[in-house]
């Protein structure tokens, strides 16, 4: 058995097709250059000890047996991440009979929580990969991805295959009729702005409610679709066409066309009611200062849920101005490159 295993997995952005993918339409997602790392090593005492740090938002250390948490930075949001770790351990114990000897799990993440950037999938993929390697459970990428998806489903009740596929394979994936296909496309330079990422002082109950917001938003879209099925079917078909044309635009490096398609996709997300005020403001602000296109990425939000989530911006030549404008609008701003590496696993046998 290796002494120490380190596994890391990337965050993701959905470039096109969120929500519409739930109805079998095409969605394109990409890995980004923000990662979550899980390190697994042995410890003397039996059972699992987990330490989680989300840079820069929270940190917590916890003995899973005695259930006492020791926050060393902050706080509530860590509870959500712990739920995925606990479920991953449970699944591996049940399916592969992994042992109960003393295990130390240390997680460090650069991915903002509940911002539509795939933090839960990265947690599941990297935790499962690290524990499988630590306990000598043989597994290929497809097996890791499938187990990570099972954990997301168990914790959230519903989960699309997009996030765990991207966290495992990296690069780009196209999802169509629920099937995942890996694509080889060129890197894009984007800006991502997040608002309302789980704040430091939030209690664990509230944090896990926010963690389940995607489910609530998807249910609300279904309700609206049932009210106006003929209108919504046209919107969904248009969204599918946009994803197809966007792939061609990336293949041909046609950035102006890609920006125009991003703007139309944003309009469709607005039409189905998943763009609350603050996210809309970030999109408009970016476009006013010269972005080629800007849109919500991930589930977005509902007006009565407050604004929490992310926008992605194709900056064109106005990168610096857009970043300042988004920061002034109160967003956490990240420089993002798409299409990066998927799961990485390293073993240290010393
Ligand atoms: O915000 P996220 O990363 O959970 O994205 C949700 C994407 C949806 O299409 C809205 C839901 C899904 O299951 O595909």
> Which residue from 57, 65, 75 is spatially nearest to 103, judged by alpha carbons?
65
Pocket test for ligand 1, best of 218, 220, 221, 225 (most atoms within 8 A of CB): 218
CA distances in angstroms from 255 to 30, 133, 172, listed in the order given: 16, 41, 17
Specify burial of residue 255 (Cβ count, 10 A radius: 0-12, 13-18, 19+): middle
**Digit-coded pLDDT (tens) for 243-294:** 999 999 999 999 999 999 999 999 999 999 999 999 999 999 999 999 999 9
194 lines ligand 1 (CB under 6 A): no
Nearest to 192 by CA among 298, 83, 77, 90: 298
3-state SS, one letter per residue, for 73-91: CCCCCHHHHHHHHHHHHHH
What number does the ligand 1 atom closest to the CA of 159 have?
A: 13
- The Cα–Cα gap between 126 and 151 comes to 12
**Which entry of 63, 163, 270, 348 is annotated as an active-site residue?**
163
pLDDT at residue number 62: 59
Q: Does residue 308's CB lie within 6 angstroms of at least one atom of ligand 1? A: no
Nearest to 269 by CA among 311, 227, 212: 311
**Is 112's C-beta closer than 6 angstroms to any atom of ligand 1?**
no
Alpha-carbon distance of 83 to 327, in angstroms, equals 32
Q: What is the pLDDT of residue 55?
A: 59
Question: Which of 25, 198, 222, 299 is the best mutation target for the ligand 1 pocket, counting ligand atoms within 8 Å of the beta carbon and taking the most?
Answer: 299
> Which has more confidence, 71 or 123?
123
**Helix (H) or strand (E) run with residue 98 in it:** none
pLDDT in tens, 299-339: 998 877 766 789 999 999 999 999 999 999 988 899 999 99
Do strands 58-63 and 48-54 pair parallel, antiparallel, or not at all (unpaired)? antiparallel
* pTM (two decimals): 0.88
pLDDT of residue 199: 47
76 lines ligand 1 (CB under 6 A): no
- Specify whether 163 is catalytic: yes
Radius of gyration for the alpha carbons in the chain, expressed in angstroms and rounded: 20
Atom in ligand 1 nearest the alpha carbon of residue 115: 1
| Residue 22 CB–ligand 1 contact under 6 Å | yes
Is residue 299 in contact with ligand 1, taking CB distance under 6 Å?
yes
Structure tokens at 341: 């590496």
What's the gap in Å between 213 CA and the centre of ligand 1? 10
Q: How far apart are CA 160 and CA 177, in angstroms?
A: 11
Å from CA of 153 to ligand 1 middle: 13
**CA-CA distance, 225 to 64, in Å (whole number)?**
43
Alpha-carbon torsion 162, 167, 168, 174, what sign?
Answer: positive
28-83 pLDDT, tens digit per residue, is: 999 999 999 999 999 988 889 988 887 555 455 556 766 555 544 444 556 667 88
- CA distance linking residue 61 with residue 52, whole number of Å: 6
pLDDT digit string (tens) for 192-208? 998 875 543 444 555 55
Residue owning the nearest CA to atom 14 of ligand 1: 160
Cα-to-centroid distance, 96 and ligand 1 (Å): 29
Question: Residue 103 and residue 50: Cα distance in Å, rounded?
Answer: 8
Phi, psi of 59 (to 5 degrees): -155, 145
The closest of 286, 94, 289, 288 to 297, measured between CA atoms, is: 286
Please give the distance, rounded to the nearest whole angstrom, from the Cα atom of residue 158 to the centre of ligand 1: 10
Peptide bond into 61 cis (omega under 30): no
């Amino acid at each position: 058995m290796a002494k120490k295993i380190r596994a890391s997995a990337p965050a993701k952005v959905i470039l096109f097709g969120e929500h519409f993918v739930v109805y079998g339409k095409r969605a394109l997602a990409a890995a980004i250059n923000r990662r979550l790392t899980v390190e697994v090593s042995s410890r003397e005492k039996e059972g699992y000890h987990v330490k989680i740090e989300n840079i820069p938002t929270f940190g917590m250390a916890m003995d899973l047996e005695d259930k006492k948490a020791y926050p060393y930075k902050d706080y509530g949001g860590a509870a959500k991440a712990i739920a995925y770790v606990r479920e991953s351990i449970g699944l591996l114990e049940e399916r592969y009979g992994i042992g109960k000897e003393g295990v130390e799990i240390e997680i460090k993440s650069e991915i903002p929580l509940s911002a539509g950037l795939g933090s839960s999938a990265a947690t599941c993929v990297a935790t499962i990969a690290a524990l499988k390697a630590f306990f000598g459970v043989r597994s290929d990428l497809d097996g890791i991805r499938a187990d990570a998806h099972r954990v997301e489903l168990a914790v959230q009740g519903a989960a699309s295959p997009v996030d765990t596929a991207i966290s495992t394979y990296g690069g780009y994936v196209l999802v169509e009729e629920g099937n995942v296909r890996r694509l080889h496309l060129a890197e894009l330079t984007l800006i991502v702005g997040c608002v309302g990422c789980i704040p430091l002082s939030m209690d664990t109950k509230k944090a896990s409610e926010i963690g389940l917001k995607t489910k609530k938003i998807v249910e609300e879209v279904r309700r609206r679709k049932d009210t106006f099925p003929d209108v919504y079917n046209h919107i969904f078909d248009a969204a599918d066409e946009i994803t197809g044309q966007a792939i061609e635009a990336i293949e041909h490096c046609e950035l102006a066309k890609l920006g125009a398609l991003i703007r139309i996709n944003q309009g469709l997300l607005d039409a189905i009611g998943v763009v609350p005020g603050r996210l809309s403001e970030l999109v408009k602000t970016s476009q006013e200062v010269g972005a080629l296109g800007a849109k919500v990425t991930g589930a977005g939000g509902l007006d009565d849920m407050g604004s929490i989530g992310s926008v992605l911006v194709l900056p064109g030549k106005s990168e610096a101005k857009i970043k300042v404008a988004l920061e002034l609008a109160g967003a956490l701003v990240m420089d993002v490159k798409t299409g990066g590496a998927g799961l990485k696993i390293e073993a240290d046998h010393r």
